[in-house]
């Protein structure tokens, strides 16, 4: 069953990354890349206290859903086109989560810090 959860989580994060336009984030200004890296470090720290048996993708997807739910409750919605130079906190945070998910197989990026 956990394999299904992991697969569903990865699909959600891949879709979210596509909606944000993660493919273009490599072209983002250096300051944006640094901001995403800082958000990724914060997310890793937060999730280090998560359920140790959970797969990284499941923890990341749950975190991203929580961010999306809270942002939507405050009237935020994902922009149709992200202007990375002017990206808001929520967009940068979600980009960091998607980036972590994409790189979660790399040992040095494991969520357990």
Res. 105 pLDDT band, cuts 50 70 90:
low
Task: Return phi, psi of residue 109, to 5°.
Answer: -105, 15
Q: What share of the chain in percent tops pLDDT 90?
A: 25
Q: For residue 17, what pLDDT band results from cuts at 50, 70 and 90? A: confident
More confident residue, 96 or 27: 96
User: What's the maximum distance between 2 C-alpha atoms anywhere in the chain?
Assistant: 41
Give tens-digit pLDDT for 66-103: 999 999 999 999 888 888 888 999 999 999 998 888 87
Q: What's the pTM value of the predicted model, to 2 decimals? A: 0.71
pLDDT for 27 beyond 70: no
Q: Is the pLDDT of residue 54 over 80?
A: no
- Provide CB contacts within 8 A for 81, sequence distance 6+: 21
Per-residue model confidence (pLDDT) at position 67: 95
Instruction: Report d(CA 60, CA 12) in Å as an integer.
Output: 10
What pLDDT score does 1 carry? 44
């Amino acid at each position: 069953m956990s394999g299904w959860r992991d697969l569903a989580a990865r699909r959600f994060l891949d879709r979210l990354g596509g909606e944000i336009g993660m493919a273009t984030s490599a072209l983002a200004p250096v300051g944006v890349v640094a901001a995403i890296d800082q958000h990724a470090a914060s997310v890793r720290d937060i999730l280090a206290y998560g359920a140790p048996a959970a797969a990284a993708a499941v923890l990341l997807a749950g975190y991203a859903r929580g961010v999306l739910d809270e942002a939507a409750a405050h009237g935020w919605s994902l922009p149709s086109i992200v202007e990375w130079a002017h990206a808001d906190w929520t967009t940068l945070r979600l980009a960091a989560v998607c980036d972590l998910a994409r790189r979660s197989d790399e040992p040095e990026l494991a969520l357990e810090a």
